[in-house]
């Protein structure tokens, strides 16, 4: 354990921790655009610079190890000047289209410009302009909005381990692209959207089917209903409709989702969902009331039990349904109908 001083507070922390981690541990929030605990520290955005007494220059808190006796200031005048200057530089190369930008309301650049009172850039030079890559079915990449924090590239190479995207060109012309700039559809991208979830600005966004603002939605944390990994996710809901799904850091998924969990949620609100019970009458399925459907089933159960015994009735429960529902179906079969003929598709 080492002890350092941050903004006048003593902090004790494990050796090898960064200044950023030390600050977080006592609730001191240092702004960042590129930090992600899952990644090797890369120190790209430089917004998290802090002042360390005795150091030659400002240091990036996300990648500088805390050391014993260090005295750190996270919001000193020189720190704020540098942060403002860096935001000024970012904004100088970023469209000011927050009014129509789909990221508005949860854009870190927007939040930091607000925090540090940067209304517009003081530079009026060249701005980047790239064509949107809309070739992926589920998300688009708008490099014009990219601030090159690098998170998407590193999430793809270090967390998802797919290496579909990379940095292309250098200097001011640097942008995130695919090998040979062939576009996302022709890359090795598996559409997991984990880069999209990492993007702090509007450069990587899910393709929306309806318009909504992030401040209009409710978020509900739940568990993915596809495979058995049990990824944690949030359903974003507007007007009783799931409009987007986002990964949440859970035990098993480390903040990741796959294409199915992330983008294949249309079934929930699909027009072909069953809305009423149906009973086959004269060979055709007809909509009926719940009462009638229950009657038909209950009568059939009684009938079969009487004629052939309870073991002539079989139930298939569902590996898709809730634990509680599975329990109740086994109880229905065993306690109410009286048979152990209950199974599910574990083998398929």
In the range 120-179, which residues lie near other proteins by CB under 8 A? Answer: 122-123, 125-126, 137-138, 147-148, 150, 158-162, 166-167, 169-174
Q: Give the other-Cβ count within 10 Å of 183's Cβ.
A: 16
- Least gap, CB of 346 to other proteins (angstroms): 5
Token pair for residue 38? 């899952």
> How many residues of this chain interact with other proteins, rule: CB under 8 A?
148
Nearest by Cα to 94 from 177, 137, 33, 185 = 33
- Least gap, CB of 69 to other proteins (angstroms): 17
Distance from C-alpha of 20 to C-alpha of 3, rounded to nearest angstrom? 14
Rg (C-alpha) for the chain, rounded Å, is 27
User: Interface with other proteins by CB under 8 A: which range of 7-15, 22-30, 107-115, 272-280?
Assistant: 272-280
- Least gap, CB of 253 to other proteins (angstroms): 5
Distance from C-alpha of 281 to C-alpha of 283, rounded to nearest angstrom? 5
- Least gap, CB of 22 to other proteins (angstroms): 16
- Least gap, CB of 175 to other proteins (angstroms): 8
Distance from C-alpha of 251 to C-alpha of 89, rounded to nearest angstrom? 38
- Least gap, CB of 347 to other proteins (angstroms): 4
Nearer to other proteins, 129 or 280 (CB): 280
User: Interface with other proteins by CB under 8 A: which range of 2-10, 68-76, 195-203, 309-317?
Assistant: 309-317
> Which 70-109 residues touch other proteins, going by CB under 8 A?
78, 81-82, 85-86, 89-90, 92-93
> Which 2-31 residues touch other proteins, going by CB under 8 A?
none
Nearer to other proteins, 27 or 125 (CB): 125
- 137, exposed or middle or buried, with CB in 10 Å at 0-12, 13-18, 19+? exposed
Distance from C-alpha of 108 to C-alpha of 35, rounded to nearest angstrom? 12
Binding status of residue 310 toward other proteins by CB under 8 A: yes
> Which 32-71 residues touch other proteins, going by CB under 8 A?
40-47, 49, 57-58, 60, 63-65
Contacts 24+ apart (CB under 8 A), 244-249: 244/206, 244/208, 244/217, 246/197, 246/219, 247/193, 247/194, 247/197, 248/221
Among 251, 282, 284, 306, binds other proteins (CB under 8 A): 251
Parallel, antiparallel or unpaired: strands 175-177 and 9-13? unpaired
> Which 208-237 residues touch other proteins, going by CB under 8 A?
218, 220-232, 235, 237
């Amino acid at each position: 354990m080492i002890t350092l001083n941050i903004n006048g507070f003593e902090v004790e922390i494990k050796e090898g921790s960064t200044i950023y981690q030390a600050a977080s541990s006592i609730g001191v929030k240092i702004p960042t655009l590129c930090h992600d605990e899952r990644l090797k520290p890369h120190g790209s955005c430089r917004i998290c610079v802090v002042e360390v007494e005795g150091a030659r220059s400002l240091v990036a808190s996300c990648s500088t190890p805390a050391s014993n006796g260090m005295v750190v200031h996270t919001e000193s005048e020189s720190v704020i000047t540098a942060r403002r200057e860096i935001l000024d530089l970012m904004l100088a190369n970023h469209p000011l289209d927050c009014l129509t930008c789909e990221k508005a309301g949860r854009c870190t650049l927007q939040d930091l410009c607000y925090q540090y009172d940067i209304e517009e850039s003081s530079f009026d030079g060249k701005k980047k302009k790239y064509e949107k890559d809309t070739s992926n079915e589920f998300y688009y990449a708008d490099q014009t909005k990219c601030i090159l924090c690098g998170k998407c590239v590193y999430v793809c190479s270090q967390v998802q381990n797919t290496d579909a995207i990379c940095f292309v060109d250098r200097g001011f012309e640097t942008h995130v692209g695919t090998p040979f700039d062939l576009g996302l559809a022709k890359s090795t991208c598996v559409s997991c959207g984990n880069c999209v979830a990492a993007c702090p600005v509007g450069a990587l966004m899910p393709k929306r089917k309806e318009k909504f603002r992030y401040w209009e939605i409710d978020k509900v944390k739940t568990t993915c209903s596809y495979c058995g990994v049990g990824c944690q996710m949030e359903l974003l809901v507007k007007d009783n409709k799931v409009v987007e799904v986002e990964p949440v850091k859970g035990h098993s998924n480390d903040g990741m989702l796959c294409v199915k969990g992330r983008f294949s949620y249309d079934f929930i609100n699909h027009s072909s969902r069953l809305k009423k019970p149906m009973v086959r009458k004269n060979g055709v399925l007809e909509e009926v009331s719940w009462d009638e459907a229950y009657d038909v089933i209950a009568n059939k159960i009684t009938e079969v039990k009487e004629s052939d015994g309870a073991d002539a009735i079989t139930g298939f429960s569902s590996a898709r349904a809730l634990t509680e529902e599975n329990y109740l179906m086994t109880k229905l079969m065993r306690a109410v109908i009286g048979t152990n003929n209950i199974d599910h598709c574990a083998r398929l």
